[in-house]
Structure 1
Amino acid sequence: MILVFDFDGTIHKTEIAYKKAITESLADLNLDVNDFDFKSFIGMGPKEVWDIILKDDSDKTPYIKKNGDRIIKYMEEEGELFPGAIETLAYLKNKYDLYILSKCRRVYMDAAREKFGLDRYFSKYFVGEDYNFLDKYKILRRELKEEYIMIGDRREDMEAGLKNGQKTIFATYGYGSLAESEGAYKNISSITELKNIL
């Protein structure tokens, strides 16, 4: 059996690095982070975020790169995983194949792999940029023919399982609203709960 994990908001406590980065990037444009629900951006594709912020059809590439580089910098300096993540992943690795599916840039995932030693636990990474930020369910439909359970904190994570006829587990401690969990097999309030149900 395969367990597919979302990264930001499921394993990685992204708000620490993300808030600092987006605050600076918005300040460059004379915008205030307090005017946005920045946590709702976590888990979205970067172009989607900047389309919401700028409300136009301009090329978002420079903003995506600059903000993305800032997120990596702060993640490398002071990033954290959710409490219990390492112990839980070490436990699950002995029973399942663990993959990551994240709608992020390749350079970000590579930095996270190094910072947190993710390769000790995960054998495959499906990275949004490698698929031109395709919907997550489409990536898994293309890449996985085996049975899997999708674990994440946003609606798109749930759809990555449900639209492919697979079970999902919703991380209520992440950045999505409870309404996004509809159809989930289980809800968890801590990543450590996976040890009891898997």
Structure 2
Amino acid sequence: MALSDLRDNIENIIFDLDGTLWDPMPMSIKAWHTALNGFDCIKNPISEEDIQGILGMQHDLVGKKLFPYLSEKQQFDVMNSCYVQEVNDIKDFGGVLYHGLEETLKILGTKYDLYIVSNCQAGYIEAFYEYHGLGAYFKDFECSGNTGKSKTENVKMIIERNKLSKPIYIGDTLGDNTAANGNQIPFVFAKYGFGDVPNPVHIINKITDLKDLL
């Protein structure tokens, strides 16, 4: 279904972050390698495939998936170190913005209020804003690192907190689709990201496709 079919039925846009607005992989791989070098308990080097496999996962569940052989305390310590290093590296180096992102946000912002909901750790979105200078385009954000809640619950929180009418959610994973469905709002699948969604109703192949919403 064409994005233009949504045009007259939305007033607000909520975005996922990783795989939707930018590619964090080069930054994340570097940050995780730096952090994990400080732990003798890690059996195997972290790979790009490992990190891709946890993108979109609620941040406090990642340690159990990647390091099941560690105790809960060790998982917490390892993941906290990785998350702190990621935020610091974003502040210092940023990530790879998808081509045309800022231009698209500027255009969309003339008609819609924009928001972010991500499963990232606390401080991650703020660092993204700070390095790339994009904070002014978004009215509000939420993440699991702040609330300890699922993406479905955090999308609901953004909707209720800002009294949103007719929002849509744009993301690149099945979890994003689930969050949209859980709030009974339309979902737009960012096909260029890291995940897969079977039979999505609305698809974008690049971030600039969103200009069709105007």
The TM-score bracket by the shorter chain reads 0.7 to 0.9
In 2, distance between residues paired with 1:188 and 1:84? 13
* Structure 1: gaps spanning 5 or more residues: none
Partner in structure 1 of residue 3 of structure 2:
none
Q: Partner letter of residue 41 of structure 1? A: I
Tell me the C-alpha RMSD between the 2 structures: 2.0
Match of 2:154 among 135, 139, 143: 139
Match of 2:54 among 36, 41, 47: 41
Alignment of 1:40-189 (within 5 A): 40-56=53-69, 57-59=71-73, 60-75=75-90, 76-132=92-148, 134-145=149-160, 146-177=165-196, 181-182=197-198, 184-189=200-205
Superposition deviation, residue 36 in structure 1: 4.7
Sort the Cα spacing of 1:151 and 1:32 in 2 relative to 1 into closer, same or farther, 3 A.
Answer: same
Q: Which has the larger radius of gyration?
A: 2
Contact 2:140–2:158 (CA<8 Å) still a contact in 1?
no
In 1, distance between residues paired with 2:166 and 2:48? 42
Superposition deviation, residue 34 in structure 1: 3.6
Superposition deviation, residue 37 in structure 1: 3.0
Q: Partner letter of residue 49 of structure 1? A: V
Contact 1:18–1:71 (CA<8 Å) still a contact in 2?
yes
Tell me the SS of whatever aligns to 1:69.
helix
Contact 1:88–1:191 (CA<8 Å) still a contact in 2?
yes
Q: What is the percent sequence identity of the aligned residues?
A: 27
Q: Comparing both chains, which one has the higher relative contact order based on Cα–Cα distances under 8 Å and sequence gaps of 6 or more?
A: 2
In 1, distance between residues paired with 2:204 and 2:16? 14
For residues 9-32 of structure 1, give each alpha carbon's deviation from its aligned partner in whole angstroms, at most 9, with x where no partner exists.
Answer: 111211111111223344442412
State the TM-score, normalized to the length of structure 1: 0.88
In 2, distance between residues paired with 1:86 and 1:38? 26
Contact 1:135–1:156 (CA<8 Å) still a contact in 2?
no
Sort the Cα spacing of 1:125 and 1:167 in 2 relative to 1 into closer, same or farther, 3 A.
Answer: same
Q: Partner letter of residue 157 of structure 1? A: D
Partner in structure 2 of residue 196 of structure 1:
212
For residues 95-150 of structure 1, give each alpha carbon's deviation from its aligned partner in whole angstroms, at most 9, with x where no partner exists.
Answer: 10100001122222221111112222101111212211x11112223441532100
Between Structure 1 and Structure 2, how many residues are aligned? 194
